Amino acid sequence: MRIVVVGGGKVGYYLVKTLQEHGHEPVLIEQDRRTCRNVANELDIPIICGDGTTIEVLDNAYAQDADAIISVTGKDENNLIACQLAKKLFNVSKTVAKVNNPKNSEVMRQLGIDIVISSTENIVRLLEREVDTSAIKRLVTLNQGQSSISEVKLPEHYVFNGYRLSELKLPQQCVIISISRGSEIIIPRGNAVIYSGDTLLVMALEKEVHNINKVLKLA
């Protein structure tokens, strides 16, 4: 996913870093030039030095091409404005705002913010769950959220219809537990074949879930 993050402080820095590690494409908007230089020295991502509450800066960040915008500045009003502009003028489908004052949470939701949250870790997980339009559905998390078991529904006219599992380059930390085909349950081996309409149960490290989506070409 292409994600615009407004605010390059501690929360913004660790957020774009985590998003990048999860295989996403973050773009950072930050007003402070020194902060921009520091982040640029640490991370290889696009950085826009400017005010994320302005149309010009959001345009420079190509907000119209973003799957989501996350505003994590220290001011709730800035987070609200950035998200509202992104949704109304750039048609960004998912907006996420960090709330610094819990009393503002309900107001921000009423004003159209899709997700209002304060935890960086939860921002990443909620964003992936809400925005990723793949056929992957997380069923349960394991090891305190480090891994998960997910259900994957293969679409009709699937591009890998008739392929063996051994032909797919799945992430190393990923295991297909079972294949459901109608009333049949298959415990797969490497030579097992997948077909359109199959449902897979997949266990993987949490950071690999988005890669599964890309490898199986579900998006």
Region(s) of the chain under CATH 3.30.70.1450 = 136-215
Closest CA to 3 of 130, 127, 136: 127
- Is residue 45 within 8 Å of residue 27, measured between CB atoms? yes
Whether this prediction's pTM lies above 0.85 is answered by no
Q: Which CATH superfamily is domain 2-131 in?
A: NAD(P)-binding Rossmann-like Domain (3.40.50.720)
pLDDT of 23: 83
CATH numeric code, 136-215: 3.30.70.1450
Beta strands 184-186 and 174-181, pairing class: antiparallel
| Tens digit of each residue's pLDDT, the chain (219 residues) | 899 999 999 889 988 998 888 888 999 999 999 999 999 999 999 999 999 999 999 999 999 999 999 999 999 999 999 999 999 999 999 999 988 887 888 899 899 999 888 655 456 666 665 545 456 777 877 776 678 888 888 988 899 999 999 898 888 888 999 999 988 999 998 789 999 999 999 998 877 877 787 788 875
Please report the pLDDT score of residue 137 as a whole number. 78
Handedness of CA 202, 208, 210, 212 (dihedral sign): negative
Task: Report the pLDDT value the prediction gives residue 133, as an integer from 0 to 100.
Answer: 41
Looking at residue 127, what is its pLDDT? Answer: 62
Q: Which residue spans of the chain are classified as CATH 3.40.50.720?
A: 2-131
Which pLDDT score is estimated for 122?
59
Residue 59's contacts (CB-CB under 8 Å, 6 or more residues apart) are 90
Going by the DSSP 8-state scheme, the letter that residue 9 receives in this structure is S
The two three-digit tokens of residue 162, written as one number = 């008739």
